[in-house]
C-alpha cells in the first residue's frame, strides 16, 4: 500500500491518499529450461555451405564469458569460407521520444566485435570450426542489462556475417545469422534476491535516467519549510504583461 499525506495547518484536517501497488521480484532459476538447454542456429546457402552457431545458454550476467562456437560445413569441394564477422550489439529504444524524433530514440553500440580471416580445416571432412571466448563487460557503464518498461527498452543480440566463395565460378556469397540473448543484472549463481536497501544494479534509478537522457536539475531535498518560514517570506508578484491580462 502506497500512502501519501499532505500536512495542513492546525484545525484543518490533513489530506491522505492511498493506492495499492504490487511489487514482484523474480530470481532466475538455474534449473529452468532457459539455462539448461543450449542454443543453436543453423543457416544454409543453397546446397553449397552450411553454418552452425551454438552458445551454451541464452542468459548471461555481468562478467560472464560466452563460449560461442561456429562450425562451417562445405557441401561442395570448391566452396570455402573467407571472412567471419562476429558482433555483440546492444540496442536501446527510448519510449519517451516523439514520433518525429524516431532516429534519436534508437541507439546501438558494439559490446564485442571480431573479424576472422584464418580458418583451419578439419582433417576428417570439409568443415571448419571456430570457438570464440567472449568476455561480457563487468561494469554497468560499459553495458546495460535487459529491461523493458514504458521509458526504456534494452536488448542484446549476436550478429554474425559469414562470407564464402565458390572457386569454380568466382562468386561470393554471405550468410547472416542473428542470436538474441538476455543480459541479467544479477549473477546466475545467486540464491537470494538482495534487499531493497542494498545498492543493486537491477534497481538503480540513475542508470535508467542516464539511458533516457533526462537532464533535469532538481534542487536538493532539505525537507519541507515550516509554516513560520513561509509567513516571513516576502510576496513575489509577476509584473509581466501576460500575468496582468485576465
Domain range summary for the chain, segments of one domain joined by +: 15-191+204-211
**Angle CA 178–181–182, to nearest 5:** 155
| CATH among 3.40.50.1820, 3.40.1350.10, 2.40.160.60, 2.60.40.640 for 15-191+204-211 | 2.60.40.640
**Mean pLDDT, residues 156-185:** 95
What's the pLDDT tens digit per position in 40-97? 999 999 999 999 999 999 899 999 999 999 999 999 999 999 999 999 999 999 876 5
CA distances to 220, 221, 225 from 217, rounded to whole Å, are 9, 12, 20
Q: 139 versus 211: which is more confidently predicted?
A: 139
Answer yes or no: pTM beyond 0.75: no
Q: What is the pLDDT of residue 230?
A: 46
Specify the DSSP class assigned to residue 14.
P
Task: Specify the range with the lowest mean pLDDT, choosing from 75-79, 164-168, 214-218.
Answer: 214-218
Amino acid at each position: 500500500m502506497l500512502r501519501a499525506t499532505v500536512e495542513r495547518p492546525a484545525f484543518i484536517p490533513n489530506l491522505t491518499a492511498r493506492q495499492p501497488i504490487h511489487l514482484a521480484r523474480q530470481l532466475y532459476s538455474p534449473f529452468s529450461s532457459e539455462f539448461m538447454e543450449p542454443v543453436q542456429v543453423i543457416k544454409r546457402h543453397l546446397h553449397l555451405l552450411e553454418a552452425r552457431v551454438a552458445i551454451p545458454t541464452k542468459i548471461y550476467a555481468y562478467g560472464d564469458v560466452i563460449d560461442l562456437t561456429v562450425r562451417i560445413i562445405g557441401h561442395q569441394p570448391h566452396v570455402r569460407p573467407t571472412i567471419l564477422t562476429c558482433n555483440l550489439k546492444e540496442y536501446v529504444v527510448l519510449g519517451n521520444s516523439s514520433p518525429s524524433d524516431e532516429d534519436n530514440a534508437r541507439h546501438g553500440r558494439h559490446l564485442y566485435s571480431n573479424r576472422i580471416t584464418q580458418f583451419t580445416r578439419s582433417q576428417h571432412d570439409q568443415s571448419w570450426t571456430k570457438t570464440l571466448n567472449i568476455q561480457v563487460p563487468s561494469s554497468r557503464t560499459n553495458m546495460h542489462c535487459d529491461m523493458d518498461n514504458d521509458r526504456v527498452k534494452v536488448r542484446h543480440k549476436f550478429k554474425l556475417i559469414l562470407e564464402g566463395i565458390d572457386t569454380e565460378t568466382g562468386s561470393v556469397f554471405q550468410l547472416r545469422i542473428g542470436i538474441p540473448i538476455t543480459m541479467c543484472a544479477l549473477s546466475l549463481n545467486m540464491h537470494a534476491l538482495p534487499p531493497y536497501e542494498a545498492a543493486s544494479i537491477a534497481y538503480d534509478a540513475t542508470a535508467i535516467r542516464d539511458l533516457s537522457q533526462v537532464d533535469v536539475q532538481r534542487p536538493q531535498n532539505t525537507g519541507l519549510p515550516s509554516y513560520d518560514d513561509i509567513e516571513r517570506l516576502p510576496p513575489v508578484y509577476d509584473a509581466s504583461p501576460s500575468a496582468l491580462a485576465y
